[in-house]
Amino acid sequence: MTRPEAVIFDVDGTLVDTVDLHAEAWVEILRRFGVDATFDEIRRQIGKGGDQLLPGLVPPDLLAQKQQEMEDARAELFTRDYLDRAKPFPGVRGLFERIRSEGQRIALASSGKADEVAHYKEVLGIADLLDVETTADDGDRSKPFPDIFDAAFRKLGLPDRRLAMVVGDTPYDAEAARGADLASLGVLCGGFPERALRAAGCVAVYRDPAHLLEAYADSPLARG
């Protein structure tokens, strides 16, 4: 495997502790529309965007009528009541500084709304270390489709897919990376088990960004 020239990071659940917050927001919104989905059912789907999450939870006739309304309501609720509760995982800025010191570039690949991504950059204190970023506006389909990682790779302008590597916390990240012909690493801080991340294609798995920083020299980010 080639040593990557750029590292593409998922955001929610990888850099910021938001998986439970997103699940809680979806529970609240779905109940508002008469859908009684449990927290655990929804949490297992976090990592997908609403376009991929809702079809498995909402009856088809209701989904056909109300999908966009549900997604808009969730976005409004999350921004109003949940966004300020998002906390960074330890070690993110240190990891990004190490990556940049090694001459590698950094991309954020989020399918979140632009205002969410802007807030996370501020909370994490990483805006000065980024080369490119994506938001929901950059892909027609959310993970596990590869659109967002494809968009990030294209923005990086690299000539070969082997020159970038993805870091994510869900099997959907690994599946999306595989669909974009990119290798991926997993982190456990989003709550998915190591076996699920490896089964989806992660070549290595770490506890969180701090652990990846600690192990950087021996990781695929440094050694390929």
Task: Check whether residue 53 and residue 162 sit in a common domain.
Answer: no
User: Above 80 in pLDDT, residue 1?
Assistant: no
Task: Check whether residue 102 and residue 126 sit in a common domain.
Answer: yes
CA–CA distance, 83 with 195 (Å, rounded to integer): 30
Q: State the residue for tokens 């050694």.
A: 223
What digits encode the pLDDT tens for the residues 2-29? 899 999 999 999 999 999 999 999 999 9
Task: Check whether residue 27 and residue 73 sit in a common domain.
Answer: yes
CA–CA distance, 95 with 85 (Å, rounded to integer): 23
Task: Check whether residue 97 and residue 199 sit in a common domain.
Answer: yes
Task: Check whether residue 105 and residue 37 sit in a common domain.
Answer: no
Q: State the residue for tokens 């808009």.
A: 72
Task: Check whether residue 94 and residue 197 sit in a common domain.
Answer: yes
Q: Residue type for 57, please?
A: L
Instruction: Say if 167 falls within a structural domain.
Output: yes
Instruction: Say if 65 falls within a structural domain.
Output: yes
Task: Check whether residue 150 and residue 60 sit in a common domain.
Answer: no
Instruction: Say if 207 falls within a structural domain.
Output: yes
Cβ atoms of residues 45 and 145 within 8 Å: no
CA–CA distance, 100 with 95 (Å, rounded to integer): 9
CATH code, domain with 127: 3.40.50.1000
- Work out the number of other CB atoms within 10 angstroms of the CB of residue 223: 10
Instruction: Say if 31 falls within a structural domain.
Output: yes
What digits encode the pLDDT tens for the residues 29-50? 999 999 999 999 999 999 998 9
What digits encode the pLDDT tens for the residues 85-132? 999 999 999 999 999 999 999 999 998 888 899 999 999 999 999 999
Task: Kindly calculate the radius of gyration of the chain based on its CA atoms and give it in whole angstroms.
Answer: 17
Number of independent structural domains in the chain:
2
How many whole angstroms from its chain centre is CA 132? 15
Task: Check whether residue 126 and residue 170 sit in a common domain.
Answer: yes
User: 214 CB contacts (<8 Å, ≥6 apart)?
Assistant: 91
- What is the structure's pLDDT at 128? 97
Boundaries of domain holding 178: 6-17+87-223
Task: Check whether residue 91 and residue 174 sit in a common domain.
Answer: yes
Instruction: Say if 1 falls within a structural domain.
Output: no
Instruction: Say if 209 falls within a structural domain.
Output: yes
Q: Which tokens sit at 154?
A: 């294209």
